Structure 1
């Protein structure tokens, strides 16, 4: 049953990616501001200085009916050979990523430090943890590559007055020289494909944090 559900999810993810690729620039602005208010999209956040003048960027956001403490453990687990990326696992594995999403908080995955690599692929490729402020910010990035391309990928938790949390995901990209840099760091493929995968990730983190939070609340009741 689990395998059938994953297959159905992957097919749905593929349909969404095909749609976003077909519409291309028409939905670019909507994709790069999905769920975010104007204030959030323009708000300076930790990690922005790593790519101070991006060729393109995005800010996604979602409201989670749980406190920051319930959301943070899911972010700490991100990564290949860790908790996965809570997205379309089947699509990620089509390109050999070797992702296996975890839907519970595992103590052995809660250790993450600045300088650690958050792997995107089974080859070990992935950004480093540049900044980590527990329950507030996780910033991933690296030095410019040989062609001058650079990217920063960051997650931010903002506490709301009613005990809920805003989870903000931001990406900032500098495109280097050459066709491969344009394809790998430019918006033409990364924007539509990344958007579909990121939206699924954010929605899954929301579901997991809210579900675990409710379960914990129930277990504390007399």
Structure 2
């Protein structure tokens, strides 16, 4: 039995297998990954700078995704400001990011107060959170995450010393009026992880695809909710 596994492994890792695996990775990196990272965004939207970008000046990874919502910015904004695990949810796949609790289907006045520096829980016990880094009503909402993956909790980005292993990033929502009384919503992410050699494979194989799945679901739900009157 001890000799079977090495032989099986050697048979699996044939030149043909390695060539096919390399080709698959190349196709993903060159053809599919750029589309995932810029889903729905125009070239000008994908390449321009946005408020909050400067918070992660040396980003290792970034994405810019966009959609058009069937309501003006002042009707979309109330849905965004009540996001949070301890508030209205995230309007995405609730089983994955809201502990199975449905995100709210209505505007809740008690959740309409939001301020810079406020924490929005991302885990049930509040050990991980998004911080409100920048807020301009009806235009810009930038959420910041600074995570120590070893400890499994968020940390204050101005604390000393910083964790040796960490994942820092922003999740930014930018709204602008669109023709027909609609809203163009552009969502920009920028992240920086340390040590990069450890975090890069995680980002490529799990982080970026997971963000695509969650963000497109949020877009879908926001388009539906935007048709609901804000008051």
Residue 210 of structure 2: SS of its match in structure 1? helix
C-alpha distance after superposition, 1:110-147 (max 9, x if no partner): 11110001221112111210110000000111528513
Q: Distance in 1 between matches of 2:198 and 2:125?
A: 19
Q: Distance in 1 between matches of 2:227 and 2:201?
A: 36
Correspondence 1:41 to 2:46: yes
> Structure 1: 5+ residue runs without aligned partners?
1-22, 217-222
Structure 2 counterpart of 1:3: none
Correspondence 1:177 to 2:195: yes
Q: Summarize the Cα distance change of 1:75–1:55 in structure 2 as closer, same or farther, 3 Å threshold.
A: same
Pairwise CA RMSD of aligned residues? Answer: 2.3
1 or 2, which has the higher strand percentage?
Answer: 2
Structure 2 counterpart of 1:71: 76
Tell me the TM-score normalised to structure 1 length: 0.77
Tell me the TM-score normalised to structure 2 length: 0.74
Q: Distance in 2 between matches of 1:204 and 1:60?
A: 15
Correspondence 1:80 to 2:85: yes
1 or 2, which has the higher helix percentage?
Answer: 1
Q: Summarize the Cα distance change of 1:165–1:87 in structure 2 as closer, same or farther, 3 Å threshold.
A: same
Post-superposition shift, 1:49? 0.2
C-alpha distance after superposition, 1:33-56 (max 9, x if no partner): 000000001111111001122111
Does the CA-based 8 Å contact 1:86-1:101 persist in structure 2?
A: yes
Structure 2 counterpart of 1:203: 220
The structure number with the bigger radius of gyration is 2
**Count of matched residue pairs:** 189
Match among 48, 58, 62 for residue 63 of structure 2: 58
Post-superposition shift, 1:24? 5.4
